[in-house]
Structure 1
Amino acid sequence: MRAAHVLIAGGGIAGLASALALGRRRHRVDLFEQAVAFAEVGAGIQLGPNVARRLQALGVWQPLMRVAAKPEVLVVRSAVHGGEIARLPLGNAMLRSYGAPYLCVHRADLHALLLAAVRGSGAVTLNTGTRITEAVARAGAVCVSSTGTRAWEGDALIGADGLWSALRTRVVEDAAPPRTTGHTAWRALVDQSALPAALRSTQICVWLGPRLHAVAYPVRRGEALNVVVLAEAAPAGDARDWDQASSLAALQAATGRTGAGLQALLEAMPAWRAWTLCDRPPLSGPEQMAGERVALAGDAAHPMLPYLAQGAGMAIEDGVALAEALDGCTAEDVPPRLARYAEARWERNAQVQARARRNGEIFHATGLMRLGRDTALRLLGARLLDVPWLYGG
């Protein structure tokens, strides 16, 4: 009897979190990344206390604390006139309620610390320049082929290869591509020292406007500010490219001008990048996350809109849940253990997917729905902004 040999396709946050969690449970892991070198770009990430607890369990707490910002409050404002609508205490309030803080990090920093932990684990072999193109189940094992001539055989295969996963069809029999939502996101990053004092922030600030909203929060120990504008606007180029060059003019053409306070922040950004938002319908059952010796994690299984700030969080939760389901597993036990993983994860992921879609409708509301939303937020504030089922799960 031997521990399972797990193959993981994808070296992003989902793949690295899964590799680290499995390696800590003494499984042998081969991870395959199609790029010739590990790297991550992109925007900031909000890490709710549910995610912070998982990262603490993965043994990366100290390096995380060296790169994270720790906002004390989330403030919701009008994108039209800038007035405050509601606020949610974070900091010690989250610590008391959920046993972990609410953090903000840059995606590249989170990726780098997970990669360093994986490299230091001694249990994971990293294979770069290797894209998995095919997977075949054979007599108690799974065999994968890559863009090169080499093949690998393992006891389990985890598809963590993102929104446009090549391995998804090994689990889910749908040939449909991800849904293009008609929403576009623009992001910018700036050193806070380069901003006028009035535009610097230690908070998470959210502006709600008709058919759009914007978010700004500190990253990199608070030294940088991450700004994202999300709007119901025509797709910005190739949906597969989430790092397109853009401009303030393009953003304003799609969204119109906002109130003076938000507009001043947008105009202070040195550069803008854009990407088209895509998702899939919420999961409908565990069979959409695992089948026999193949399982999916992160966006390969459940891509979601960023309107609950939990895409990376659910990927990290998947990785920890995979390791828990496979704990003590031998090669022979893999199929029922992966089924256990899917049973443990699909409903929570589906709930987050559905809530993210619903939040998009609420955040971008117009007319009477917008007035009702703002009134409810002014009256109930933190009660509506807090998410106990998510942060406590």
Structure 2
Amino acid sequence: MDKKILIVGGGIGGMAAALACTRSGLTVRLTERAAAFGEVGAGVQLGPNSVQVLEGWGLGKQLKAVAAFPQELCVRNAKSGAVLARMPLGKSMVEQYGSPYATIARADLHSLLLTALCRSGSARLMLDSEVTSVTQDKDSVSVQLAAPEGHSPQILKADVLVGADGLWSRVRSQILHTGGPRVTGHLAYRAMLKQSDLPVTLRSQVVTAWMGPGYHVVQYPVGAGEWLNVVAIVHGELQGDLASWDHSGNAKELRIALAGAASPLWDLLHAIPDWRLWALCDRPPMRSAAEHAVGRVALLGDAAHPMRPYLAQGAGMALEDAAELARVLVKSGVPVDKALRAYAARRWRRNAKVQARSIRNGHIFHLRGPFAFGRDATLRLLGKRVLDVPWLYQGPDQV
């Protein structure tokens, strides 16, 4: 019997899950609470493990049209400007892992997935559809949608429910009752601007990570190399809606936090007139498969395992989740709850490891004093051996 899949959340994870399931011949309905599909103006790094998933869905050509493919990762001391380590990307990544390292605007990645899904013609997409409750029994799972005043709420029923509704997941809260995300104490300032609007000396086609005392900055090309994405992470608290990804950032406050930065970084900060700001929130690393699936309900991406951006794998793990979910669901004769237990068993340890490594990286990036000196010395000495992550880039069969 054909399984009916209901996906809650129309972001990158939800779109990826819908595409993977429709490609496997499953019947898919996707709900999104917003009035239109879209993503904030920020960038995403996609390691070879992530690109391999997209290529497996036949999206390699489309990815090449909108992404950038940096040739190098360069790590620098934010105060002195000194280069601490380099790691080749480009051809080296393809030779070692079978797929390239890509950088892409979130909106472009989302559009790529949405376009592929719409062309498949086999998924029903519903906007303005906010889930208010989830119920399940041995035969099915149902969600109730918010209704306009004076109207009865709509009930949607399916064989499988996929919660891909992000960090503040309503589906998660309904099935796990684990409370809300935790505030990390880190703030992300983000900007994206045309490279042609920058002085030639500030344009870049590589990934550069600047490590400073209590902060770091990452920059990389997106939009087929025509745009530069910049993110600065500092310590602080946000006065406002923690769930919003789109606060206005104060450039003066950011410059105060990064006072004394090396001239190339300082010049870049001054070349950016407008910043967007949001608070980084997460959850502790997953502790068991039970955090990935319960009965007929599976969690995917940030709804299951929100992670800090210090390993650049948030989108990548959502793509891997989606591919694995479709793989287990398409097996005929396997009960839904058993299939989802298999999905959870295959995914939770890897996701937990990425979460933990991301937290550790954040501490390392922001070291001060003699600890920062030791970090820099290690990077100079070991270089690529520190920066490369074979267990991650080799794909989901590695934990």
State the TM bucket, normalised to the shorter chain: over 0.9
Measured in 2, the distance between the counterparts of 1:258 and 1:329 equals: 58
Match of 2:320 in 1: 317
Quick check: 1:329–1:337 contact (8 Å CA) kept in 2? Answer: no
Q: Secondary structure at the match of 2:336?
A: helix
Q: Is residue 296 of structure 1 aligned with residue 296 of structure 2? A: no
Aligned pair partner of 2:156 in 152, 155, 161: 152
Measured in 2, the distance between the counterparts of 1:236 and 1:60 equals: 40
Measured in 2, the distance between the counterparts of 1:3 and 1:140 equals: 14
1:94-116 deviations in Å (ceiling 9; x for gaps): 00110000000000000001001
Report how far residue 246 of structure 1 moved: 1.4
Q: Secondary structure at the match of 1:222?
A: coil
Measured in 2, the distance between the counterparts of 1:320 and 1:40 equals: 21
Higher mean C-alpha deviation, range 38-47 or range 86-95 = 38-47
Measured in 1, the distance between the counterparts of 2:42 and 2:296 equals: 34
Q: Secondary structure at the match of 1:167?
A: helix
Match of 1:205 in 2: 208
Quick check: 2:17–2:326 contact (8 Å CA) kept in 1? Answer: yes
Measured in 2, the distance between the counterparts of 1:25 and 1:263 equals: 49
Q: Is residue 261 of structure 1 aligned with residue 264 of structure 2? A: yes
Match of 2:255 in 1: 252
Quick check: 1:208–1:214 contact (8 Å CA) kept in 2? Answer: yes
Pairs within 5 Å for 1:70-149: 70-148=69-147, 149=153
Report how far residue 139 of structure 1 moved: 4.2
Residues 236 and 53 (structure 1), Cα distance of their counterparts in 2 relative to 1, 3 Å cut: farther
1:132 counterpart letter in structure 2: V
Measured in 2, the distance between the counterparts of 1:371 and 1:156 equals: 51
Aligned pair partner of 1:235 in 224, 234, 238: 238
Report how far residue 36 of structure 1 moved: 1.4
Q: Secondary structure at the match of 1:11?
A: coil
Match of 1:162 in 2: 166
1:148-188 deviations in Å (ceiling 9; x for gaps): 221111001000000000010343231x2111011001011
Quick check: 1:290–1:339 contact (8 Å CA) kept in 2? Answer: yes
1:179 counterpart letter in structure 2: R
1:275 counterpart letter in structure 2: W
Match of 2:365 in 1: 363
Q: Is residue 180 of structure 1 aligned with residue 180 of structure 2? A: no
2:176 counterpart letter in structure 1: V
Match of 1:30 in 2: 29
1:350-377 deviations in Å (ceiling 9; x for gaps): 0000000000000001122111110010
Match of 1:308 in 2: 311
Report how far residue 269 of structure 1 moved: 1.0
Q: Is residue 379 of structure 1 aligned with residue 378 of structure 2? A: no
Quick check: 1:171–1:287 contact (8 Å CA) kept in 2? Answer: no
Q: How many residues align structurally?
A: 390
Measured in 2, the distance between the counterparts of 1:375 and 1:154 equals: 55
Q: Secondary structure at the match of 2:335?
A: helix
Report how far residue 60 of structure 1 moved: 1.5
Quick check: 2:40–2:245 contact (8 Å CA) kept in 1? Answer: no
Residues 243 and 62 (structure 1), Cα distance of their counterparts in 2 relative to 1, 3 Å cut: same
Q: Is residue 63 of structure 1 aligned with residue 62 of structure 2? A: yes
Measured in 2, the distance between the counterparts of 1:138 and 1:122 equals: 30
TM-score by length of 2: 0.96
1:28-84 deviations in Å (ceiling 9; x for gaps): 000000111111123100000000000111221111110010100000111001111
Match of 1:342 in 2: 344
Quick check: 1:236–1:276 contact (8 Å CA) kept in 2? Answer: no
Report how far residue 232 of structure 1 moved: 1.6
1:254 counterpart letter in structure 2: A
Higher mean C-alpha deviation, range 116-125 or range 304-313 = 116-125
Aligned pair partner of 1:223 in 189, 205, 226: 226
Report how far residue 12 of structure 1 moved: 0.2
Measured in 2, the distance between the counterparts of 1:65 and 1:270 equals: 29
Measured in 1, the distance between the counterparts of 2:250 and 2:196 equals: 22
Report how far residue 328 of structure 1 moved: 2.6
Measured in 1, the distance between the counterparts of 2:259 and 2:236 equals: 11
Measured in 2, the distance between the counterparts of 1:352 and 1:167 equals: 23
1:386 counterpart letter in structure 2: D
Match of 2:150 in 1: none
Q: Secondary structure at the match of 2:94?
A: helix
2:199 counterpart letter in structure 1: P
Measured in 1, the distance between the counterparts of 2:32 and 2:173 equals: 19
> Aligned residues: percent identity?
48
1:294-338 deviations in Å (ceiling 9; x for gaps): 0100000000100000011111111011001112345x7111000
Report how far residue 222 of structure 1 moved: 0.3
